């Protein structure tokens, strides 16, 4: 993620990492903690919307990107669920879904939050939630991802924070 940053022209702003709870994450999606097998579906479960295409569940290999966020992306047509496939903690920067009907909408810099996701927990992002990550310590890791088969082709909207705001966000 650091290929766009020119230290002479881009301000690096610290973004505090928040505690992940259902309440702190509510504007962005659902926290999916481990539960006992056989527990019936309920209001605390992810309310997935995969109705606008063919669901795609896969294990994606992600190279190390560090903790500097220079761009943030949203998918307006689908919820997205993410989890570590190796049980490692990871981090995610998010901004709430707004202006879903506006193709070129951008998140407000002050709306972006960062969370540490425990390795045994998944998150579901509401349709239109802006996100940067998964971010993690160390080398390449793998993550489970549930979205639509064509999400990254037809529903991938990115805001380059370094160009739009002259700012990159460093998770601290």
| pLDDT higher than 90, residue 44 | no
Distance, CA of 169 to CA of 112 (rounded, Å):
9
Q: Do the domain assignments include residue 60? A: yes
Give the H or E element holding residue 153.
helix 151-154
Give the pLDDT score at 7.
56
Nearest to 54 by CA among 73, 32, 78, 84: 78
Residue 1 — pLDDT band, cuts 50, 70, 90? very low
Total domain count, the chain: 1
Residue 20 domain boundaries: 12-33+47-171
Confidence at residue 48, expressed as pLDDT on a 0 to 100 scale: 96
Neighbour-count burial of 85, counting CB atoms closer than 10 A to its CB (0-12 exposed, 13-18 middle, 19+ buried)? middle
pLDDT one-digit tens code per residue, 146-167? 999 999 999 999 999 999 999 9
Rounded to two decimals, the pTM is 0.93
Q: Is residue 2 part of a domain?
A: no
Residue 80 lies in a domain: yes
Q: Is 78 domain-assigned?
A: yes
Question: Is residue 107 assigned to a domain?
Answer: yes
- Is 162 within a domain? yes
For residue 148, what is the domain's CATH number? Answer: 2.60.120.480
């Amino acid at each position: 993620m650091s290929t766009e940053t020119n230290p002479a022209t881009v301000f690096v702003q610290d973004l505090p990492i928040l505690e992940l709870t259902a309440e702190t994450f509510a504007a962005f999606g659902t926290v999916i903690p481990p539960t006992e097998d056989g527990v019936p579906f309920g209001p605390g479960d992810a309310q997935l919307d995969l109705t606008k295409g063919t669901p795609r569940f896969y294990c994606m290999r992600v190279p190390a990107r560090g903790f500097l966020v220079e761009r943030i992306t949203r998918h307006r047509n689908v919820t997205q669920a993410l989890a570590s496939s190796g049980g490692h903690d990871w981090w995610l920067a998010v901004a709430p879904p707004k202006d879903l009907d506006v193709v070129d909408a951008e998140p407000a810099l002050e709306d972006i939050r960062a969370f540490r996701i425990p390795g045994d927990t998944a998150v579901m992002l509401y349709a239109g939630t802006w996100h940067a990550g998964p971010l993690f310590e160390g080398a390449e890791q793998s993550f489970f991802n549930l979205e639509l088969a064509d999400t990254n082709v037809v529903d991938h909207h990115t805001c380059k924070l370094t160009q739009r705001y002259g700012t990159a966000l460093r998770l601290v």
